[in-house]
Amino acid sequence: MKAKRKLCVGCGKEQFIWKSEGRYKYCKACWLTKVPTKPIKRTPLKPSQKPMRHKSSKMTALDTVYSKLRVNYLEQYPLCCASLPKCTKNSTDIHHKKGRDKYHNDPTTWLSVCRTCHDWIETHPTEAIELGLSIKRN
């Protein structure tokens, strides 16, 4: 889907919109340099409308199962399996080696890691694959 240019309230030019507040739309330059001066008028929901859910009911059910599995997995593997430099040794996170999509609740693709190691694995994906901390997803 190609982005459309719209009229920026800050500079009055047709730009790619960066942020919008209600009906006021701003390009990136105006949003970062100017504070929106017009008050935002939010219309309340009609009695027949419900607020939008943050997660689908299917994902909520998957996350309920994941929470229980995660606690058991971290009890079973309390130490960080990555042991990279600056490792804190106690595992607090679950790294999904093959990604979360269909392997979200599959403990065979999980790795028990500390927050420091997890951040490193996520920011250095090619090195993590070489070290065996992640698996190629395609």
34-81 residue pLDDT tens: 655 556 677 777 788 777 788 888 989 999 999 999 999 999 999 999
Enter the tokens of residue 54: 């943050």
How many domains does the chain divide into? Answer: 2
**Pair 78, 23 in one domain:** no
Q: Is residue 49 domain-resident?
A: no
Do 31 and 87 sit in the same domain of this protein? no
- Do 87 and 33 lie in one domain? The reply is no
Output phi, psi for 93, to 5 deg. -120, 160
Residue showing tokens 């935002």? 40
User: How many angstroms separate the CA atoms of 112 and 74, rounded?
Assistant: 7
Same domain, 24 and 74: no
Q: Domain range holding 1? A: 1-37
Residue 107 has pLDDT above 80, yes or no: yes
In a domain? residue 105: yes
Looking at the fold, whether 32 and 69 belong to one and the same domain comes out as: no
Chain center to CA of 62: 17
pLDDT at 134: 92
